[in-house]
Structure 1
């Protein structure tokens, strides 16, 4: 037996053990372990498998943004939305990306897997609020909560029609929901930062008795009389519920959106539908794998059995890679994985047919395996490279034109092809090379050949001298 064969077998065994741990050992996000060991890798399901909401966002037409303004602000807008989603919705692994149409116009695709409860529409619209917090001096005129503030009416108190302070002056680490100790009402705690601390103290000291009106996107949320100079923390009072106050805090903590956005389309996928899709996909995968395994054993006998073992390892390795690298598993991705099962066997079919041809020509088994692999390799290489190129093209168009279903399919198929090349070329060949020196596979029936098809050493030497 070749020295390298045992080494490759050891590597394959270690990889199989590692993949089995990643795939089957319980994963816990709560810190609980099984036998004191926790599997840190969990599978990340896409929107179509666990349910949730998919939204397409476009710049608000009413704002009349130029293309240059959108292009310069779209990236920072995506970052702000990501912060708000992660901080306020409790959604695991949201998918937020920019899309570009054929005319170069950009939009934002927002996928929120797991958003299956509560008022989904209200939660999304809260996240999309521009979030422009402003402090206005409205003189002796208090404004009712919910009213729209017109800066021109209070220009004498606010030079240039600009607010005294904005949300940028707030310390995001000091914004929180609290309770008024005297009334028990829900309030929002805040504190200025940097130079705004002294400026806010000076302003409140000079305007005692005036109304300090606070607006969010020009809608009044609080209008209160300045009782004394404020040099430290302050509170925003209003007719808030706990949920409303928390949504405002989430917006304020992460700042205003550079672009005002509008919902162009919205799609909701129920959690029950996602579960049903997973069950059906698993059944389809089991049926497909079983048919391939049965065919390989019936037609190719022993090599087919070894290829089936390699196919099982292929499934283990592929799932492990998905978990380790955090790829999102979608319904289209599962279709790509099932398709790649057949492609994983395709390389073995080419190799085994080549080996049978070499055996029929009178070569010894070990020589037939080596030459069969070498002659099958160009066909395997070219077909798989063609598939990888196709996957790359699908991924590019899917990523740029918002077709996430194509992205999932292309990603899984690309990964499946790479892993299948390894299992077909390395794993199956190693299994055969391990068995050849033992002599247990020298019977032609094990290869589906008639008696006398596998040459002995003496016959091989005789054939070589003819």
Structure 2
């Protein structure tokens, strides 16, 4: 047996066991791990498979069109950060699109649980946090705030501090030990640290009112000097406090948004259609397996094993890196199976040609694989380049359905190259010491079309 073949075989077996655990081991769905072992890897489904929310955010009226155009990209980025930071959805899509010449932001939130309207409100908040001196006046939470009414306490009618003065790393949700209510911990940064300390020392018993988008969040009395940090109190639920922290961490939006359209999207495929898609994929795989077995015989059987391993490896990668599967993504995965078979077909045909020329199996495998490799390399690399182009345009021009297709196809092609280079070739090398070269029918070749081992040795000595 060739040097290194057993090592590669052992590596393939370990890899197959690990991938099988990721793919087939039951997930912890009933609160208890199966047989004491938990599998944390799950499949993430896209909007078309599990439903969710689709909302279009448009700039509010009365804003400078140039200001909107210059800041729409930054706004999209901050919206995406808010979504990823605290809404808990699978693979959200946040993209810029143009409607009637006006830029807008389309947001798709697959599998959004909880209060959906509250989640949308979180996205709409401009997030402009301000601290105001309201003198002896305590304001009611949720009331609108007009800076002009308190200009006498705030020089120039400007806020004492804003959200830009907060240290994002300090923002967190806490709990008041006296009331058990939820509070938001904060600390200032830069010059605002000393500024808050001096202001609170000079204005004990006055009220420091905190507003968000010019609505009162909290209006506590200053009881003592604050050391550059403090808490924001209010009638928060835990979810509201977490979402407010999420908004404040990423700063205020450059432009004001409103809802242009909102739609709750159901699972467009449904469980029945998903099952039919999986059935179609299974039937296609079975046909390919049967063809390889009947036409290529023993090498075809080895290729079928490699193909099954390919499917397990690819699906395990999808679960490990968190690929979100949509219908287009499933199509890309099924298409990549054909790419995996294509590599095996090229290798086997080349090997059969070398066997017809009278070469021994070991040299036929080496030469056949080397001659097949340029075709395998070029075809797969061209497909990967196409996937990269599709991914780029899908990500930058709003065609998110293409992104899922390009991602799954790209990963499938990469894995198919691994199975062709390592798995299939290792399996073929396992045949070398078995003497199967003496049975041409096992390679799908007519009798007497392949030189036997003894005859080859005899001719080599003449």
In structure 2, the residue matched to 1:199 is 198
**Structure 2 CA distance, aligned partners of 1:364 and 1:242?**
73
Q: CA RMSD in A?
A: 4.0
**Structure 2 CA distance, aligned partners of 1:450 and 1:235?**
85
Shift of 1:342: 1.2
**Structure 1 CA distance, aligned partners of 2:385 and 2:238?**
53
Contact 1:336/1:410, CA 8 A, preserved across alignment: yes
Match of 1:149 among 140, 145, 153: 145
Match of 1:421 among 411, 417, 420: 417
Change (3 A) 1:260 1:273: same
In structure 2, the residue matched to 1:23 is 23
Contact 1:88/1:247, CA 8 A, preserved across alignment: yes
Shift of 1:334: 1.4
Unaligned residue ranges in structure 1 (runs of 5+)? none
Q: How many residues align?
A: 452
Equivalence map 1:26-425=2 (5 Å): 26-28=26-28, 33-39=33-39, 41-57=41-57, 60=60, 62-64=62-64, 66=66, 70=70, 74-75=73-74, 78-79=77-78, 81-82=80-81, 84-86=82-84, 88-89=86-87, 91-95=88-92, 110-118=107-115, 120-138=116-134, 146-168=142-164, 173=170, 176=173, 188=183, 193=188, 194-202=193-201, 204-205=203-204, 208=206, 213-221=209-217, 226=221, 229-232=223-226, 236=233, 247-248=243-244, 250-252=246-248, 255-263=251-259, 266-270=262-266, 273=269, 275-276=271-272, 278-425=274-421
**Structure 1 CA distance, aligned partners of 2:180 and 2:13?**
64
Equivalence map 1:436-455=2 (5 Å): 436-440=432-436, 442-455=438-451
- Structure 1 stretch 394-403 or stretch 271-280: which is displaced more? 271-280
Contact 2:436/2:442, CA 8 A, preserved across alignment: no
Contact 2:289/2:304, CA 8 A, preserved across alignment: yes
Q: Deviations over 1:231-282 (max 9, x none)?
A: 35566457x7776566545534654334434455555433585655543332
Unaligned residue ranges in structure 2 (runs of 5+)? none
How high is the TM-score relative to the length of structure 1?
A: 0.80
**Structure 1 CA distance, aligned partners of 2:78 and 2:64?**
22
Q: Deviations over 1:47-92 (max 9, x none)?
A: 3333323445565564326469846x8458635752x435543x14
How high is the TM-score relative to the length of structure 2?
A: 0.81
Shift of 1:299: 2.0
Q: Deviations over 1:130-165 (max 9, x none)?
A: 122333345677766555433334433322221234
Shift of 1:311: 0.1
**Structure 2 CA distance, aligned partners of 1:60 and 1:166?**
22
Contact 2:198/2:225, CA 8 A, preserved across alignment: no
